Amino acid sequence: MSIDPIRYESHQPPLYYSLAVPFYRLTRFWPPVQQVIALRFLSLLMGGGIVYIAYLVAREVFPTNEVLALGTAAFVAGVPMHLAMLAAVNNDGLAELMLAGILWMLVRYIKKEGEKGKEGAEGAEGRIPWRLIGLGVLVGLGMLAKTATLVSIPLVLVAVVLAISYRPSAISHQPSAIRYRLSAISYQLLAIFLPALLLTLPWFVHNASVYGGLDILGWTRHDAIVVGQLRTADGLAQYGVARLARDLLLTTFRSFWAQFGWMGVLVDERIYLLLALLCAIVGSGFLFYLARVVRQRSVLSAYQKAALGLLALSAFLTLFSYLWYNCKFVQHQGRYLFPALVPLGLFFALGSREILSRERAKIVAILALAGLLLLAAKGLLASDFNKWSMALLGGTALAFGLKTLLPERYDDFAFALPYLGLFALDAICLFGFIVPYFR
């Protein structure tokens, strides 16, 4: 297939392609299929780094709970579509790796800043702020990987302002304390963003010279020449708001979990229904967890609340950028949400842990049983039973009912089951849908 119609992607930042050059040159005499495999190996290395950093982020926020950290890493590794993207030749994996590294450095930064007093401020004694410079280098490299990492800029701003403002020595309304906060914030932001700017400036200058004006990211030129993509304005005129909104939600959900190829390889509808039920149960668990945090303020330390808030902001910014892009083009691709996978993985683990408590499991079992009875009654009236939905609700009621009877020593085993299910789903997607499609 000719790639001429999709060469509008040439505006992409250069870092991934520069890193791939050695792999390409070493294999330039190999058959094309083997070359692609070698380049995919680079993506797999990046994917392994993302999974490991996801573990580190969760362990940093919850240092005494390794199970949560393992669950976070397992979620990042187990989402079938994410696994497929990390086996492809593209810059998504590198962008995720950079953003995951930035998140890890930021949650560590917030913890360390919270332990400092005014006298311990970095740079107060003329020391070079290597940690902040390293963070800035990572921010710059992230922007050279993919513009999806631009969400790191507001994340850094929020992290620095919060961390400095809540230092024990900075909590004061005295003029001297206010001046100290402003000075410390300015100093640290400069130490972070100056290296980032120096790294990205040559690329910005190049883009301005090639695309003209202030189009330093190439977006204006991209939007002007892109072909083959339905624009949102045309989609609204053609399908209407309700249809387009439905397609956005449905296709985003499917393509986040399992819609392979160029959005052409779908899995069985029953699998999507199972995943929707899983999301509903775990999402409910996460809401229960948030409610418990609000009621019992001692559940989380001030640092943990700040770190989780930062991770939530990261996920929100990624979602916002996805919706913003879809205001211009109809691009209902769930993979655009993968930069938020580390926060989502931790929230998934927290929700899973919460919903498996005996009290919550009892609620799920009762609701699932009620849903099963309603479906059975509807089936009797209409003489048409939705057998798969009934089986899912019946299995859920049984599983969570049994969970209420199990001793606490089996909690970790129950917690691991959804992740084992994801890994099994990976194999089902590969051998049951992807391989047969391309035969």
Proportion of the chain above pLDDT 90, given as a percent: 77
Q: Is the pLDDT of residue 122 over 50?
A: no
Q: Is the pLDDT of residue 349 over 50?
A: yes
> Rounded to the nearest 5 degrees, what angle is found at the Cα of 288, between the Cα atoms of 101 and 53?
15
Closest CA to 67 of 418, 438, 362: 418
Q: 179-218 b/e with 16+ CB inside 10 Å = b?
A: ebbeebbebbbebbbebbeebbeebeeebeeebeeebbbb
Computed over every residue of the chain, the mean pLDDT equals: 91
Q: Which residue has the higher pLDDT, 182 or 168?
A: 182
Average pLDDT over residues 61-71: 97
Most confident of 234-238, 351-355, 376-380, 409-413: 351-355
Q: Is the pLDDT of residue 201 over 90?
A: yes
Q: Which residue has the higher pLDDT, 157 or 224?
A: 157
pLDDT number for residue 152: 97
Q: Is the pLDDT of residue 5 over 70?
A: no
Q: Is the pLDDT of residue 10 over 60?
A: yes
pLDDT number for residue 123: 44
Task: Give the separation between CA 161 and CA 177, rounded to whole angstroms.
Answer: 14
Confidence of residue 65 (pLDDT cuts 50, 70, 90): very high
Confidence of residue 118 (pLDDT cuts 50, 70, 90): very low
Q: Which residue has the higher pLDDT, 136 or 126?
A: 136
Q: Which of 162-176, 299-313, 343-357 has the lowest mean pLDDT?
A: 162-176
Neighbours of 395 (CB within 10 A): 14
Confidence of residue 124 (pLDDT cuts 50, 70, 90): very low
Predicted TM-score of the model (pTM): 0.93
Q: Is the pLDDT of residue 125 over 70?
A: no
Confidence of residue 225 (pLDDT cuts 50, 70, 90): confident
Beta strand spans in 32-139 (E): none
pLDDT number for residue 126: 53
Q: Is the pLDDT of residue 130 over 60?
A: yes
Q: Burial level of 341, CB count in 10 A (0-12/13-18/19+)?
A: buried
Cβ atoms of 330 and 244 within 8 Å: the answer is yes
Confidence of residue 1 (pLDDT cuts 50, 70, 90): low
Residues 260-314 have pLDDT tens digits of: 988 889 999 999 999 999 999 999 999 999 999 999 989 999 999 999 999 999 9
Neighbouring residues of 418: CB distance < 8 A, sequence distance ≥ 6:
278, 282, 352
Residues 394-439 have pLDDT tens digits of: 999 999 999 999 998 999 999 999 999 999 999 999 999 999 998 8
